[in-house]
Amino acid sequence: MPAAGRRSIVGLVLGRLRWVLVEVVVVVTVAVVGYRVLEGYGWFDALYMTAITLGTVGYGETHPLDTAGRVFTIGLIATGFALAVHGFVTLSALIVSGDLTRAVRANRMVRVLDRLRDHVIVVGHGRVGRAVTSALRRNGTGYVVVDRDEALVEVLREQGLVAIHGDAEQDETLLAARIDRASALVSAAPEDATNLVVVLSARALCPTLRIVARVEDQRWCNRLLKAGADVIRNPYDEFGSGLAVSAVDARVVGVQDLPEWGLRIAEIEVAPGSPWAGRVPASIATDLPGVVLLGLRSEHGMRRWHEIDGPLGSGDVVVALGPPGSIERLRTG
């Protein structure tokens, strides 16, 4: 992939200079033929004379020139100068337009993508997508943004972020985001239909990938789950609930994560074989002093922290508060 990126830069430069190169070939051909016809030079002598004239080297004439040959040489020198100016202007326009800078930036992004492992793919960088990437950045998790807005993608790349311009509904775009090496995908597009197709495509490409999908209309929840989403979230419902709780109880500051305190709230399922299975909450708190267990959700319903009187079992869902690192240790065991 990096080699492909370099070829794209070379191709961009050559593409812009193609007419200059054509002009050079035409001028050299005419000059060689002109020296041969006007002065009777051999083919190599004519080519040599053309090279030193266009290059303004001034080594001297291969053979003495008559008046016609000198006039022809003057014209060739002027033509060479015009070609140099044309090439310089073309290259300057390429740099000033920003196309070369964008190509270099894209090449650098490809190299970064090739090094990424266990990253999160964030589809859509609107308000919800920005909140997702902000949280990932705070947690030190690598991520790749995929968005259809080319101007937005360029802005993100200028900021040093890894971003891909494309349609995440297409397999090629997800493969470009290295979905085969990603740990998760967050589909944060504002349209439920788009998120549905993204989930279907991602699940088909990577059956074990963890997929979180945004939903606007609750009627799409079942469709997204059937398509392969592991988690679905309605940002407005969840944030609205937090606002409502804060409004009706003055003692409640908020029910969201607390990034300014370096804390987050998470629900973590105790998987089969987890080292936490069979452990009582007190012993977990000893191993993870930064984590506070708020409650436990199981097939028997929700129990608050002081109502947990036995060990954790497989399938129980722990509601915990703590620093991101400690929460990750609780998740991974």
Domain presence at residue 278 = yes
pLDDT in tens, 51-80: 888 877 766 777 788 888 889 888 988 888
Tell me: do 221 and 261 sit in the same domain: no
Tokens read off for 234: 């309605």
> Reading across the β-sheet that carries 120-123, which strands appear in turn?
163-165, 143-147, 120-123, 184-187, 210-214, 231-233
Q: In this structure, what CATH number is given to the domain that contains residue 16?
A: 1.10.287.70
Over the chain, what is the mean pLDDT? 82
pLDDT-based confidence at residue 197 (cuts at 50, 70, 90): very high
Q: Mark whether 161 and 232 lie in a shared domain.
A: yes
Q: Is 224 exposed, middle or buried (0-12, 13-18, 19+ CB in 10 A)?
A: buried
Question: For residue 160, how many C-alpha atoms fall within 13 Å in the half-sphere facing its CB?
Answer: 2
Domain count, the chain: 3
Most confident of the following: 103-112, 253-262, 318-327: 318-327
The string of DSSP codes covering 45-97 is HHHHHHHHHHTT-----SS---HHHHHHHHHHHHHHHHHHHHHHHHHHHHHHT
Whether pTM > 0.85 for this model: the answer is no
Task: Tell me how far CA of residue 286 lies from CA of 41, 172, 245, 281, in angstroms.
Answer: 94, 47, 32, 9
**Residue 44 amino acid letter:** F
> Cα 44 vs. chain centroid, distance in angstroms?
53
Q: Is residue 252 part of a domain?
A: no
In the Cβ-directed half-sphere of 11, how many Cα atoms lie within 13 Å? Answer: 8
On whether both 141 and 222 belong to a single domain, the answer is yes
Domain that residue 210 falls in: 117-238
Residue 231 in any domain: the answer is yes
